[in-house]
A and B are shown apart, each in its own frame.
Chain A
Amino acid sequence: AQKVTQAQTEISVVEKEDVTLDCVYETRDTTYYLFWYKQPPSGELVFLIRRNSFDEQNEISGRYSWNFQKSTSSFNFTITASQVVDSAVYFCALSDEDYGGSQGNLIFGKGTKLSVKP
């Protein structure tokens, strides 16, 4: 069975601190996709990144970086120099793929609520 675990329920940091959000996943599929979404108080799920199971390169996008390690089934997300606008709930998610990549269900972790204080 597929499962995503985000062990940190809530994290509070002070602005400019670095913060890492942990994500551990379980799947028996050899082909799968991992995602991170941001959900601000307005409610919309904002796509941050999608990574397939064959690409273990770490990725950096501005202040955001992701560390994918298949050996530990982890896909951690780091925000460098956090800002108040980063305050949101962050979800890690896992998807299998059927029919050319569109039909897989998205299995979400329970989310980590990040509060960045000025």
Chain B
Amino acid sequence: DAMVIQNPRYQVTQFGKPVTLSCSQTLNHNVMYWYQQKSSQAPKLLFHYYDKDFNNEADTPDNFQSRRPNTSFCFLDIRSPGLGDTAMYLCATSRAGERFFGQGTRLTVV
């Protein structure tokens, strides 16, 4: 049973066209994370929520925003995607040190 669900699995968007990626969890975890993973690289943290408290990493571009309307859902908004934003985007949840990842969304910007 999937516990962290990301939609869609694959997304193609045009350069500059806003795109939203979604993540939902059935674990009731209070912390949710968004990571960006470019080809052949390690995942890189973009931001995380501790309940409704939003924490942005210092080097996360302003182009990336996030929303968490409730415990179960978290969204990643890319306002004006560039070609360099082509990557796998991974959502994760955490409680008491355990961390669970979704299957990721492969975003391609064309």
Chain A interfacial positions (CB closer than 8 Å to B): 33, 35, 37, 42-47, 50, 52, 91, 95, 97, 99-106, 108-111
Question: Judging by beta carbons under 8 Å apart, are A42 and B103 in contact?
Answer: yes
Contact A102 B94 (CB under 8 A): yes
Known: A43-B106, A45-B43, A109-B42. A102 touches B50 (CB 8 A): yes
In the complex, what distance in Å separates the CA atom of A104 from the CA atom of B106?
Answer: 25
Interface bits B52-63 vs A (CB < 8 Å: 1, else 0): 000100000000
B97, A43: Cβ atoms closer than 8 Å? no
Q: Mark B29-64, 1 if CB is under 8 A from A, else 0.
A: 111010000000111010010100001000000000
> Which residues from chain B sit less than 8 Å from chain A, CB to CB?
29-31, 33, 41-43, 45, 48, 50, 55, 88, 90, 92, 94-104, 106
Contact residue among A102, A103, A104, A110 (Cβ-Cβ distance under 8 Å from B41) = A110
Would you give the shortest CB distance from B39 to chain A, in whole angstroms?
A: 11
Tell me whether B96 and A100 are in contact (CB under 8 A): yes
Determine the chain A residues whose CB is within 8 A of the CB of B98 once the complex forms: 47, 50
A49: min CB distance to chain B, Å:
11
Q: Give the distance in Å from the alpha carbon of A12 to the alpha carbon of B50 in the complex.
A: 40
